[in-house]
C-alpha cells in the first residue's frame, strides 16, 4: 500500500513519521501479504472532470473552455519539497498525475531529487499518466535507465469503462491518444497495469482486453489503434512488469523455479484466442503460495 501524504510539507512529515514508526524497514512484507511500498501524492485532478493540470484548455460540453486548463492540487514547489523529503529518507513516491503539465512536473521533480541525491531503486511512479508529453517520455526513459525510477502505472480498463464519457471534456483528438501504451513499449519504458478498483472493475481480463482492443463500453473505438498492444505485452504489464512496482520481482511476476507459486488458471489460452474474447476469460482455479484458494464449481 501507499500512505497518502496530504498536500503540505507538514502532512508529508507526519506521513513519513507514520511510515517509519509502522515499518522501520520500508517494503518489508508482513506475512508475505502487505507492505508499505511508499507514499502517495495527488498532483492534479481528473480528466473527466477537467481538473487535471494541462497545457491546453479542456472542453466543456464539447466546446473549448479557454478558462480551464485544470490546476495542481497544491503549490508545485511544495510538491517538490514533499517528494524530496520522502526521497532523501529512502521512501518511494507514487504520484497521481493525469494532465500533461502535471506529468511533466512530476517526472522533472523525480529527476531533480535523484540528481541531488541519487538513490537508485526507489521506483518513484506516475499513477495514471494519461497524457505524457514527448519531454515526459524522454525523462521517464532516462529515469528508468539511470535510477530505476519514473515508472507509469496505468489502468487500461479505463479505456473500456469510461470510453465516450471522456469525450465532452477531452475532445476527440486528445481522447484518441489517451494512455499511449504502444509508445511506452516502443520507447523501452516499463509500464505496469492495474484496475484502480473502486473506480473501475477489478478483473484483470477486462484490462487485458482493453489494452489490446481499446474499445469503449458502448462498443465504439474512439481511441487510436496506434496505441494498442498485443496480449503478450498486456499480460506482462499485469505480471512481470507489475511485480517490480511491489518490490517483489524476485518472488512473483513470472512462473519459474524458486518463486512463489501464485498462479491463476484460466479456461482458455489468452495467446491463442481471438483478442475480442479476452474479456470472456474465466478463472477456473487460483493458487497462492502453492495452495489452492479458489476452484470453480464447474
- Is 198 inside a domain boundary? yes
- Is 99 inside a domain boundary? yes
Q: Give the pLDDT of residue 127.
A: 98
**β-pairing, 63-64 with 59-60?**
antiparallel
Count CB atoms within 10 A of the CB of residue 74: 18
pTM: 0.96
Which residue is it, cell 503460495? 289
The dihedral over CA atoms of 235, 238, 239, 242, expressed in degrees to the nearest 10, equals 140
The 3-state secondary structure of the chain reads CEEECCCCHHHHHHHHHHHHHHCCCCCCCECCCECCCEEEEECCCCCCCCCCCCCCCCEECCEECCCCCCCCCCCHHHHHHHHHHHHHCCCCEEEEECCHHHHHHHHHHHHHHHHHCCCCCCCCEEEECCCCCHHHHHHHHHHHHHHCCCEEEECCHHHHHHHHHHHHHHCHHHHHCCCCHHHHHHCCCCCEECCCECCECCCHHHHHHHHHHCCCCCCCCCCCHHHCCCHHHHHHHHCCCCHHHHCCCCCCCCCCCCCCCCEEEECCCCCCCCHHHHHHCCEEEEEECCEEEEECCC
**β-pairing, 63-64 with 93-97?**
unpaired
- Is 22 inside a domain boundary? yes
* Alpha-carbon gap, residue 247 to 1, rounded angstroms: 12
Environment class of 58 (CB within 10 Å of its CB; exposed 0-12, middle 13-18, buried 19+): buried
Q: Give the pLDDT of residue 72.
A: 98
* Alpha-carbon gap, residue 46 to 107, rounded angstroms: 18
User: Where residue 237 sits, what CATH number does that domain have?
Assistant: 3.20.20.140
Q: Give the pLDDT of residue 37.
A: 86
Task: Tell me the CB-side half-sphere exposure of residue 101, using CA atoms within 13 A.
Answer: 18
Count CB atoms within 10 A of the CB of residue 24: 8
Q: Give the pLDDT of residue 31.
A: 62
| Total tally of structural domains belonging to the chain | 1
Going from the first residue of the chain to its last (298 residues), give the mean pLDDT of each consecutive group of 10, the final group possibly shorter: 96 95 72 81 97 97 94 98 98 98 98 98 97 98 98 98 96 96 98 95 95 96 96 97 93 93 95 96 94 95
Residue 100 main-chain phi, psi, to 5 deg: -65, -35
- Is 268 inside a domain boundary? no
Count CB atoms within 10 A of the CB of residue 243: 20
Q: Give the pLDDT of residue 32.
A: 65
Structural domain containing residue 23: 2-253
Q: What angle do CA 120, 251, 154 make, to 5 degrees?
A: 60
- Is 208 inside a domain boundary? yes
- Is 270 inside a domain boundary? no
- Is 36 inside a domain boundary? yes
Helix axes 9-22, 76-88, angle to 10 degrees: 20
* Alpha-carbon gap, residue 233 to 238, rounded angstroms: 9
Q: Give the pLDDT of residue 154.
A: 98
- Is 297 inside a domain boundary? no
User: Please, are residues 170 and 47 in contact by the beta-carbon 8 Å criterion?
Assistant: yes
Amino acid at each position: 500500500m501507499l500512505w497518502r501524504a496530504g498536500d503540505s510539507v507538514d502532512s508529508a512529515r507526519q506521513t513519513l513519521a507514520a511510515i517509519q514508526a509502522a515499518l522501520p524497514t520500508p517494503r518489508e512484507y508482513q506475512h508475505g501479504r502487505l507492505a508499505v511500498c511508499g507514499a502517495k501524492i495527488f498532483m492534479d485532478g481528473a480528466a473527466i472532470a477537467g481538473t487535471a493540470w494541462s497545457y491546453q484548455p479542456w472542453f466543456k460540453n464539447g466546446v473549448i473552455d479557454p478558462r480551464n486548463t485544470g490546476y495542481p492540487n497544491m503549490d508545485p514547489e511544495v510538491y517538490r519539497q514533499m517528494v524530496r523529503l520522502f526521497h532523501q529518507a529512502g521512501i518511494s513516491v507514487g504520484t497521481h498525475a493525469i494532465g500533461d503539465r502535471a506529468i511533466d512536473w512530476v517526472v522533472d521533480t523525480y529527476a531533480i531529487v535523484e540528481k541531488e541525491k541519487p538513490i537508485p531503486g526507489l521506483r518513484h511512479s506516475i499513477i495514471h499518466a494519461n497524457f505524457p508529453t514527448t519531454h515526459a517520455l524522454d525523462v521517464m526513459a532516462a529515469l528508468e535507465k539511470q535510477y530505476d525510477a519514473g515508472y507509469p502505472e496505468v489502468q487500461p480498463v479505463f479505456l473500456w469503462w469510461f470510453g465516450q464519457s471522456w469525450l465532452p471534456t477531452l475532445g476527440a483528438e486528445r481522447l484518441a491518444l489517451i494512455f499511449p501504451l504502444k509508445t511506452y513499449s516502443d520507447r523501452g519504458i516499463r509500464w505496469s497495469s492495474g484496475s484502480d478498483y473502486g473506480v473501475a472493475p477489478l478483473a484483470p481480463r477486462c484490462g487485458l482486453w482493453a489494452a489490446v482492443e481499446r474499445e469503449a463500453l458502448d462498443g465504439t473505438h474512439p481511441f487510436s489503434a496506434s496505441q494498442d498492444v498485443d496480449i503478450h505485452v498486456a499480460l506482462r504489464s499485469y505480471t512481470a512488469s507489475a511485480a517490480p512496482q511491489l518490490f517483489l520481482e524476485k518472488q512473483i511476476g513470472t512462473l519459474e523455479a524458486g518463486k512463489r507459486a501464485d498462479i491463476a488458471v484460466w479456461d482458455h489460452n489468452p495467446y491463442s484466442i481471438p483478442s475480442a474474447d479476452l474479456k470472456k476469460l474465466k478463472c477456473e482455479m487460483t493458487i497462492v503460495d502453492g495452495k489452492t484458494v479458489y476452484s470453480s464449481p464447474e
